Amino acid sequence: MRLAAYAPPGRSRRWLGPIAALVLSATLGFLPLSIKRPVAGVLERTVFFPFRFTVGWGERMLSGREEAKRLSRELAQRQWSRDEAEEARIENARLRRLLGFHRRADHNLVPCSIVGREWGRAGEVLLIEAADPGAAEPGRAVVSPDGLIGRVSSREGRYARVECLTHIQVAVSVLNQRSREGGILKWSPERRPGLAIRGIPSQSDWQPGDRLVTSGLGTAFPRGILVGWVERHRSQGGGMLKEVRVRPAARAARAEEVFLLERVEAGFGFPGAEEPGEDLSALFPVEPGARSARTLFKGKVGVDPGPMPVP
Amino acid sequence: MFVIRCIAVIFFLLVAQTSWIPRLRIGGIGPDLFLGLVLVLALRKGTTWGVWSGVVLGLLLGVEEPATLGSESLALGLTGLAVGQASRSVDKQNPFVLVLLLILSALITETVRTLFTAGGNPGNAFLLWWRWVPGSVLYTAVFVPIFAYVSARLLGIRGWISGAA
């Protein structure tokens, strides 16, 4: 038999293809998903690969740009948060110290903010604004958690000028806590500017690392405020006298908050004080675990000046 | 040249369908651009082209979502068949007729899709049909002609329905 006898008519032949395609589609539609997935994978990798690749590239480009924008925004947000967190950490540490400092004090400490700094030929001056303007009377001691800053020199309304330790008008009577030697600490802007105690006998006992506090002599500064540490000493006046260089405990340039030591009007000390000239040493305790001054200043063997806080 | 233009249009529609078209969905219902392409090919080239283009485009969509492999081909293929057959006796230049054909083809396509989604459950099929089909048909009937008109103007294509099979 000839094959042509069995060939379908022309019009019917035209429908074979579309009907076959529809039947194939229906068959695919009723298959389970476990078979559809591999079939879809084969079609994606073969017949439709150019379409999928191009669409995927477009999708990747669009999503890549959006992802880049999103990441950029997120990065900026995180950087800002990190800066904020760092600032908060620093402020937290500072305020914790202030709080601890304030807690130790049994006296009135009036907080002040520093609104200006000035460094002239006469020395360093701070301009402060006290929480209680009436407390900023001339002559009052100004302290920070680190130690003595200076004293109030004048007041104008809410603001007060503070002459720091590094000012030629400020002289502090200090006491060596170890040797109980005393002297007058002054700042000198001459050839080698710095804080120094001058004109003390050469036999007096001053060792590097010795802790200096205010002696309470005079009416300027109450006793016991930490002033600094002995840095070194050298002879002067032909060997009869010596000069002791002092490193200050508190740096006015680094201070962010300071306190006014409010003096009780009774004149015998501070609120809660029973004796005149009460010692304020408790405000400036020796830090535990502080390094020995012998290590820092290479003092005499056998002399233990006591621990010094790490500056 | 016609085949190359078809392929270019398919590329464009595929990118659009997978990128910004999903953002136009309202309540999960979005326009079907591929239906418009099947309609144009069936009107322009006849039943065979309509069926084959529907099946191939359906497979292309099925590759994107394997669960719909086969059902999309069948839906678009049947649409191509219906429109191809109807195009012999209608005025293809009349825009109202074209919109009517679009609505008819959208009905067929969405009904077949709904039947496959219902999984043979008549109750589900009935509910799904009322939930998805009218909204899809309406959205497609409104969006696709506007999209086609704007695209034709931008591409400078004129008389893209004319030309008998």
Question: Using one digit for the tens of pLDDT, what is the confidence trace for A170-203?
Answer: 999 999 999 999 999 998 776 566 899 988 888 8
Kindly tell me if the per-residue pLDDT of A292 is higher than 50. no
Report yes or no for ipTM above 0.85.
no
Kindly tell me if the per-residue pLDDT of A301 is higher than 80. no
Threshold 0.80, pTM exceeds: no
- The pLDDT-based confidence of A266 (bands split at 50, 70, 90) is very low
Alpha helices in chain A (DSSP H): 10-30, 33-45, 49-104, 293-297
Q: What is the pLDDT of residue A176?
A: 92
Q: What is the pLDDT of residue A86?
A: 86
Kindly tell me if the per-residue pLDDT of A60 is higher than 50. yes
Alpha helices in A203-249 (DSSP H): none
- What burial letters (b/e) apply to B146-164, b meaning 16+ CB within 10 Å? ebbeebeeeeeeeeeeeee
- The pLDDT-based confidence of A33 (bands split at 50, 70, 90) is confident
- What burial letters (b/e) apply to B38-65, b meaning 16+ CB within 10 Å? bbbbbbbbbbbbbbbbbbbbbbbbbbbe
Q: Which residues of chain B are at the A interface, by a Cβ-Cβ cutoff of 8 Å?
A: 10-11, 14-15, 18-19, 47-48, 51-52, 55, 58-60, 62-63, 66-67, 69-71, 73-74, 77-78, 81, 116
Q: Which of residues 1-20 of A touch B (CB under 8 A)?
A: 14, 17-18
